[in-house]
Amino acid sequence: MRDKRKIKIEDLLLIKEVGNISISPDGRKCVFTVKSINKEKNKYFSHLHILDLNTREYFQFTYGEVFDSFPKWSKDGKNIFFIRNKENDIQIWKIRVDGGEAQQITNLPEGKIGEFDVLDKIVFTFRPKGNEWTKEAVEERKKTGKSDPPRIITKIYYKLDGYGFLDNYQKLWIAEENGNTYQLTDGEYDDYSPVFIENGNKVAFFSNRSNDPENTPYLVDLWTISIEDKKLEKINTFPGYKHQLSSFKDKLIFVGYESEEDPWIPKNNKLWMIDLSNNKIECLTKNLDRNVGNVTLSDTREINDTPKFSKDGKEIYFLVSDKGNCHIYKCNVENKEILQVTKGSIDISSFDVGKEFLVLSINTPTYPTEIYIDKLEEFNSLEKITSFNKWIEEIDLSYPEEVWYDSFDGERIQGWILKPPDFEETKKYPLLLYIHGGPHAQYGNTFFHEFHVHSANGFVVFYTNPRGSEGREEKFASIIRGDWGNIDYKDIMSGVEFIISKDFIDRERLVVAGGSYGGYMTNWIIGKTNIFKRAVTDRSVVDLVSMASTTDFPFMEDGYWEGNFWDNTEKLVLQSPLYYARNIVTPLLIIHSEGDLRCPISQAEQLYITLKRLKKEVVFVRYPASTSHGMSRNGPPDLRIDRLQRIVEWISKV
């Protein structure tokens, strides 16, 4: 037997991300996507695969330099519809299940197709690009030497990280199999989450069509529209945030929560059902104080966690995040009884339910996503089907040890210790404390390539879910609302005290790192203590005053944060790491993307120039405008590798 090798940064290129599962109407087959990296092209490609649920045989179904996603079966099970991105031309395509070439259905101008549903027709969301910013318009200006025109901005929410400028509103469109395509909704509103109802004669969707949607973002309503005459009807629900509609006959389910507050304020998403025969709405998870959906962070998988009806409509299946795991739950439509279906230390990122089986994409702390099957009558009988990431079996990986420690006030905090694969009890190791972003998300039992890389390079990696994290009671996350750097800081530092008490930690070789809010907390920590010898802050928050009006989700007055950013800034100032930068003595690596619209690069610039003026040791790595806030997860592959190499080199000097 060959000796296993340690994981490498370049192994990122080998990881396959498996998901976007859809089971055929007869329950016999399943289509799913496999996302991979093409090293030579430095691009991500994604293709459809078919799984026979009886024989367990599977094979690749689409090919080429394309990105195929979100497959859905036709009602008769003869065709699969999907979104294809081919050289940045995003359209809806279909392919016959019995073989043949894929056919393009839509021929839309440049823009973004989002959610869609299929019955006899296809309903989908589409946001067209501004006419002045299409490839054709840009190239024409280059030929004639004309300058780019100014953008005329009139909205508060006019940009979105990972997307860019929101030139037009997102509307519902209809496409027929013959290619006939037309817009269904209009008006100066964004419409989303469309599903067919009433045998395809109507579409249900969400939209905030209030008088002032930007200042009352919680006034999201459920609407229906007739396909024949475009007649609109509002279905009364509740003030609050809603998304992820699914339908079965006269019933709809969706995810959301009641609120008349800032969307930044953390609330546990709940599962709701509405009966269109009487418009009765009911919360199905009111006694389950956990977040419906997957809120676990990872750098090697994508999430598609929309709840789904069983094929007979008698049960609803949905994901729940709980203490570092993400599991499948089911709810009986008749008696509303809820049952947890899966168990163990796993992260489920996509699923569908058929007549006999659940099909799931699952990853674990030591194995990237693969397809699993669970029999509906024998729950927790998980059977691993695919082996797209079989290469990982040749890698020497440590399994993270889950731990719980007491914070300063006795609150129990969850964490994980990832030791080097060749760990020896008698040796002492440097410590890397990694802090997650959000802050309202969670670390969990999922595969994290970056953590294993640092572990392979001789670090003990310690990561935790301090208060502010999700996956626990709503109060656990909301307690840090508008109060960063207090209880969360104490929870994290209690974790540091816990881990450095271990005999195998070298207390003179401590490193702290984090991204987004994790970057904020890294900046905050090194402004409060000098016990860390090196630090890495990635896409971080530095100055809440400037962040408030430059992020893609601008702060609301007296919303998540007390006060405002123009004349009542005291709270924001006191909680901004920039104003404690004079105390920093820890050498700091700053990483940021010029295309980051969530935490604009000006955040990094402020901290860098401040530290340079103070003659502190600091290095600033700027990635190009083609990258965004999520560069470490979905940025260009070569730049993801470059980023990791720079971090490894920086912390190795500890």
**411 and 374 assigned to the same domain:** no
Based on DSSP, count helices (H) and strands (E) in the chain, helices before strands. 10, 39
**357 and 434 assigned to the same domain:** no
Is 138 a member of any domain? Answer: no
**71 and 120 assigned to the same domain:** no
3-state secondary structure of 606: helix
Return d(Cα 496, Cα 526) in angstroms, integer: 13
Is 343 a member of any domain? Answer: yes
Is 48 a member of any domain? Answer: yes
Q: Which helix or strand (DSSP H or E) is residue 192 part of? A: strand 191-197
Select from 388, 423, 449 the last residue of a domain: 388
3-state secondary structure of 90: strand
Return d(Cα 355, Cα 596) in angstroms, integer: 44
pLDDT of residue 281: 96
Residue showing tokens 């440097």: 430
Select from 241, 261, 283 the last residue of a domain: 283
Number of domains in the chain: 3
Residue 242, CA distances (Å) to 127, 294, 334 in order: 20, 16, 23
The pairing of beta strand 338-340 with beta strand 325-332: antiparallel
pLDDT of residue 592: 98
| CB count in 10 Å sphere of residue 398 | 20
Is 448 a member of any domain? Answer: yes
Is 4 a member of any domain? Answer: no
**510 and 647 assigned to the same domain:** yes
**309 and 408 assigned to the same domain:** no
**374 and 443 assigned to the same domain:** no
Residue 63's domain comprises: 17-100+297-388
Is 202 a member of any domain? Answer: yes
**367 and 440 assigned to the same domain:** no
> What's the angle, vertex CA 607, arms to CA 605 and CA 611, rounded to 5?
115
pLDDT of residue 3: 86
Buried b (16+ CB within 10 A) or exposed e, 313-340: eebbbbbbbbebbbbbbbbebeeeebee
Return d(Cα 472, Cα 649) in angstroms, integer: 36
pLDDT of residue 1: 40
CATH code, domain carrying 419: 3.40.50.1820
Is 141 a member of any domain? Answer: no
**566 and 423 assigned to the same domain:** yes
Q: Give me the average pLDDT of each 10-residue run along the chain (654 residues).
A: 86 98 97 98 98 97 98 96 96 94 96 96 97 94 96 96 96 94 97 95 97 96 97 96 96 97 95 95 97 97 95 97 97 96 95 96 97 88 96 98 98 98 97 97 98 98 98 97 97 98 98 98 98 98 97 96 94 96 98 98 98 98 96 97 98 97
Query: Please, how many CA atoms are within 13 Å of residue 485, restricted to the half-sphere of its CB?
Result: 25
Select from 252, 283, 314 the last residue of a domain: 283
**402 and 550 assigned to the same domain:** yes
**532 and 632 assigned to the same domain:** yes
Answering whether pTM is above 0.85, one says yes
**447 and 523 assigned to the same domain:** yes
Return d(Cα 256, Cα 59) in angstroms, integer: 37
Q: Determine phi and psi for 396, rounding to 5 degrees.
A: -85, 105
Mention every residue, 6+ apart, whose C-beta is less than 8 A from residue 132. Answer: 148, 149
**77 and 117 assigned to the same domain:** no
pLDDT of residue 2: 56
Is 123 a member of any domain? Answer: yes
pLDDT of residue 100: 87
CATH code, domain carrying 277: 2.120.10.30
